[in-house]
């Protein structure tokens, strides 16, 4: 849709000319394409950058269905009302904080936010259960230029020197935590070996259970019904070759 308007612009040798201007939004380019027609006849195109809109998100998480999100919503609404924040996008989920962000709605939120956006949580523990997970999420958001508000702790992490220092500290703390975890794991495995415990499968030992274990009757029934090997292989997440070997071993046509 074309929108007609009239404005005065100053150009070299052209002062105060009335301009019939048509603004045509171009979404892919993120600009307004403006066609200006002067009298006497002069036709050219000027590009104006479209102002980017920032978003405000409220992230709410509870671990079980027995917990309620109402207290978190109330706290965020009170904060938003006091600070005059409007048009908040709510992201709510019922899932354990031990799950990685990629397996939660939080992961999709982290991918969708951009510079200048704001995420509000009632407390940092809503982002994860472990210190390393929380630090990684905060570091990722601060590096993208996203403001993080934690109401209970009173944090407002954004584009300022304090936040940049904290982002560096978060990254350093997360790296130290990963290193310590790796060291503890190695020490635990070494201690178990010295005590004579077997770590993992013995050399040459085959697993007792495969993906197709116990599925012979089902595969035979499906094959009798005319189902293809490729379809069955996709269902069990195995290759066609693996399925074919299993069928030969169990004498299934």
3-state per-residue secondary structure call for the chain = CCEEEEEEEEECCEEEEEEEEEEEEECCCCEEEEEEEECCCEEEEEEEECCCCCCEEEEEEECCCCCCCHHHHHHHHHHHHHCCCCCEEEEEEECCCCCCHHHCHHHHHHHHCCCCCEEEECCHHHHCCCHHHHHHHHHHHHHCCCEEEECCCCEEECCCHHHHHHHHHHHHHHHHHHHHHHHHHHHHHHHHHHCCCCCCCCCCCCCCCCCCCCCHHHHHHHHHCCCCHHHHHHHCCCCHHHHHHHHHHCCCC
Q: Which of 20, 63, 92, 112 is catalytic?
A: 63
The closest alpha carbon to 149, from 210, 75, 211, 225, belongs to 75
> What's the chain's Rg over C-alpha atoms?
30
**Is 63 assigned a catalytic role?**
yes
- Residues identified as active-site: 63
């Amino acid at each position: 849709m074309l929108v007609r308007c009239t404005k005065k612009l100053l150009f070299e040798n052209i002062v105060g000319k009335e301009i019939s201007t048509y603004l045509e939004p171009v979404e892919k380019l993120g600009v307004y394409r403006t066609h200006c027609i002067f009298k006497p006849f002069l036709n050219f195109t000027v590009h104006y950058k479209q102002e980017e809109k920032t978003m405000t998100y409220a992230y709410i998480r509870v671990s079980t269905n027995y917990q309620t999100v109402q207290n978190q919503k109330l706290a965020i609404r009170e904060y938003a009302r006091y600070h005059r924040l409007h048009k908040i996008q709510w992201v709510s989920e019922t899932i354990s904080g031990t799950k990685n962000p990629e397996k939660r709605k939080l992961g999709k939120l982290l991918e969708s936010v951009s510079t200048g956006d704001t995420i509000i949580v009632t407390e940092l523990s809503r982002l994860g259960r472990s210190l390393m997970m929380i630090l990684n999420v905060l570091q990722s958001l601060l590096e993208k230029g996203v403001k993080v508000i934690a109401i209970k702790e009173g944090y407002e992490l954004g584009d300022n020197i304090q936040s940049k220092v904290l982002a560096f500290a978060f990254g350093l703390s997360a790296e130290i935590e990963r290193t310590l975890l790796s060291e503890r794991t190695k020490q635990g495995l070494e201690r178990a070996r010295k005590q004579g415990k077997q770590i993992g499968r013995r050399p040459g030992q085959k697993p007792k259970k495969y993906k197709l274990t116990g599925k012979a009757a089902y595969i035979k029934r499906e094959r009798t019904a005319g189902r293809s090997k490729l379809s069955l292989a996709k269902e069990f997440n195995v290759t066609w070759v693996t399925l074919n070997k299993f069928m030969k071993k169990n004498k299934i046509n």
